[in-house]
């Protein structure tokens, strides 16, 4: 799946130009592109992006399971690849980062200027609400 942000008219959109964004309602009824995306615009919503976090049968790898546990009851979804997870919540993340962790995996933390292709496929009954993940994002980026 292509992860390029597009306007509902099918033109290039930007993760930093609000004039190219639209509402969920307009995006979900548009035929442009191949799916939905979400822009993190610095409004206090952050995302922890876990690539290659799931085994082929959909079980979180131990390192990802620990991050999910620490995130608590907040919205988490399977990423478009089917191999990763997006964990959304409230946190003040001014500078996005990709953090290499021991064990050979990386965690990405974003809060502004980032477009994410999303699926809406909640992971294992995750709630549809967001909670405060500030302590987790701080510990991951420390």
Q: Which residues are catalytic?
A: 49, 51, 86, 108
Name the strands in the sheet holding 85-90, side by side, starting at the edge strand that comes first in the sequence: 76-78, 85-90, 45-50, 105-110, 97-101
Rounded Cα distance, 126 and 123, in Å: 6
Rounded Cα distance, 25 and 23, in Å: 5
For tokens 């995130």, what's the residue? 71
Q: What are the phi and psi torsion angles at 116 (to 5°)?
A: -125, 130
Strand partners, 8: none
């Amino acid at each position: 799946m292509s992860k390029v942000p597009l306007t509902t008219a099918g033109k290039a959109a930007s993760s930093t130009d609000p004039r190219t964004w639209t509402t969920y309602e307009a995006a979900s009824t548009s035929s442009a592109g191949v799916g939905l995306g979400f822009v993190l615009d610095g409004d206090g919503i952050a995302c922890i992006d876990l690539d290659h976090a799931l085994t082929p049968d959909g079980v979180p790898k131990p390192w990802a399971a620990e991050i999910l546990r620490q995130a608590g009851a907040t919205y988490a979804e399977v990423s478009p690849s089917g191999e990763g997870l997006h964990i959304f919540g409230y946190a003040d993340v001014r500078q996005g980062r990709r953090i290499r962790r021991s064990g050979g995996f990386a965690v990405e933390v974003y809060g502004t200027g980032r477009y994410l292709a999303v699926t809406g496929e909640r992971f294992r009954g995750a709630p549809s609400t967001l909670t405060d993940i500030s302590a987790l994002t701080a510990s991951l980026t420390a």
